[in-house]
Structure 1
């Protein structure tokens, strides 16, 4: 019987007021973005490169290098798209590894502070 009373008295997520979600005195609010800004800038840069590099390569090579042969110019544009994509993957792996190394360094510093 007490369990039923307790369940009835508790508010559900939809019934809670905004006051329930504000930080209490002495608590700090964590409003950091889910994705850091430098990651967004890298994504935007590679998106721009993915648009400009293949199209630019096609129009630069179709008349200058391949003398009107659009097949070879299209192939070079496809190669440039793959180069940009591979570059993005490499940058993403390097960023992931650097984040892991920073986390390991912080953990070592915490452990060294605890032991001293």
Structure 2
């Protein structure tokens, strides 16, 4: 037999989602972006490169390098997509390391 489940909210003092995001009256609202602008610019640049570089390399190598052999041109495009991807990973890792270095330097200066 089926059991009944009540949908009553327990009286444990839980807040609703709307209450979590309420700003206290009289204080300015927080309008700072959640993600820094340089991160968005890097993401857009690598997105553009991920679209343009493989397609461009396919058509350039199809006519100029491989004389119409689409298999080799496609392999070149796949390789170039991986080059862009590895470049993005390297840039992301460097950015992460630079933030850690800056935090350690601030901590060292604070002592």
How would you bin the TM-score normalised by the shorter chain?
Answer: 0.7 to 0.9
In the TM superposition, residue 78 of structure 1 has moved relative to its aligned partner by 0.4
Q: Is the Cα–Cα contact under 8 Å of residues 58 and 77 in structure 1 kept in the other structure?
A: yes
SS of the residue aligned with 2:103?
Answer: helix
Runs of 4+ that moved beyond 4 A: none
User: Matches of 1:68 and 1:15 in 2, distance apart?
Assistant: 60
Alpha-carbon displacement from aligned partner over 1:46-104 (angstroms, at most 9, x marks no partner): 00000000000000010110000000000000000000000000000000000000001
C-alpha contact (below 8 Å) 2:54/2:78 kept by paired residues: yes
Partner SS, residue 99 of structure 2: helix
The DSSP-based 3-state class of the residue aligned with 1:21 is: coil
Q: Structure 1: 5+ residue runs without aligned partners?
A: 1-6, 112-116
> Residues 14 and 47 of structure 1: is their aligned pair in 2 closer, same or farther, counting only changes over 3 Å?
closer
Q: TM-score, normalised by structure 2?
A: 0.77
Unpaired segments ≥5 residues, structure 2? 1-10
Name 1:44's counterpart in structure 2: 44
Do structure 1's residue 32 and structure 2's residue 32 form an aligned pair?
A: yes
Aligned residues: 100
